């Protein structure tokens, strides 16, 4: 059975894909066969007559084995809004059971599966379930990406606390610098380190434009596959 990790974040657009790619590279450098998964994606574009998400395509390209796009990204929607709204606009409903089935197929093909969530920890997936329910059902160790900017301490503490209340295991967190010059960056990081026992796994520096090569220089602290 493959080891899996669920990558969530304190917000959208803060580096979850970058983190997922860096984790994939980390385990690949250890000789592991790794695949990536982005179960739900909104804001997709038509490519060759099919809806495709840029982040999911990057995960597909980084995967150690050839995986069909539909398995990596079971739910793809064109409208760049909250997933439950995007699905409703298409007359569809996001079913966590379907995502679980896709995950099991990926699990059979790899040593490590990196699952990237959508938005933040409690972004709705349907009328009754959100990202936290998906993480709970997959029952994977969680890695939290914290977007380092004003307000991040509150967002991170809320996310950490919500994970702990569900009794889920958090493997650690990533400090993702999303501002060129954040005031008191080190003090913010130290505050979050003091708040939680969840270890800081890496600090991702600010980059004007993050691309598919940016994550290659990221150093992840020890994780055990």
Q: Which residues are catalytic?
A: 38
H/E segment holding residue 6: strand 3-9
DSSP states of 134-152? HHHHHT--EEEEEEESTTH
Helix axes 54-62, 16-28, angle to 10 degrees: 0
Beta carbons of 145 and 23 less than 8 angstroms apart: no
Environment class of 209 (CB within 10 Å of its CB; exposed 0-12, middle 13-18, buried 19+)? exposed
Nearest by Cα to 146 from 79, 95, 97, 193: 193
Helix axes 185-195, 152-165, angle to 10 degrees: 20
Would you state the torsion angle of the CA atoms of residues 81, 11, 50, 22, taken in this order, to the nearest 10 degrees?
A: 170
């Amino acid at each position: 059975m493959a080891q899996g990790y669920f990558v969530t974040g304190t917000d959208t657009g803060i580096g979850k894909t970058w983190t997922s790619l860096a984790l994939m590279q980390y385990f690949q450098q250890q000789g592991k066969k790794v695949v990536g998964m982005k179960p739900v994606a909104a804001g997709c574009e038509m490519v060759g007559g099919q809806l495709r998400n840029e982040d999911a395509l990057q995960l597909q390209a980084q995967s150690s084995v050839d995986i069909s796009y539909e398995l990596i990204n079971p739910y793809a929607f064109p409208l760049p809004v909250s997933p439950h709204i995007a699905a409703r606009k298409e007359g569809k409903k996001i079913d966590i059971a379907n995502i679980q089935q896709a995950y099991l197929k990926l699990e059979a093909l790899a040593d490590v599966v990196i699952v990237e969530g959508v938005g933040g920890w409690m972004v709705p997936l349907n009328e009754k379930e959100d990202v936290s329910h998906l993480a709970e059902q997959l029952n994977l160790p969680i890695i939290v990406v914290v977007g380092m900017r004003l307000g991040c301490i509150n967002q991170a503490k809320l996310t950490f606390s919500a994970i702990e209340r569900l009794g889920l295991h958090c493997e650690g967190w990533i400090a993702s610098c999303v501002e060129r010059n954040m005031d008191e960056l080190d003090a913010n990081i130290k505050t979050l380190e003091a708040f939680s026992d969840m270890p800081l796994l890496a600090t991702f520096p600010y980059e004007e434009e993050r691309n598919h090569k940016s994550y290659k220089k990221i150093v992840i602290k020890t994780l055990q596959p």
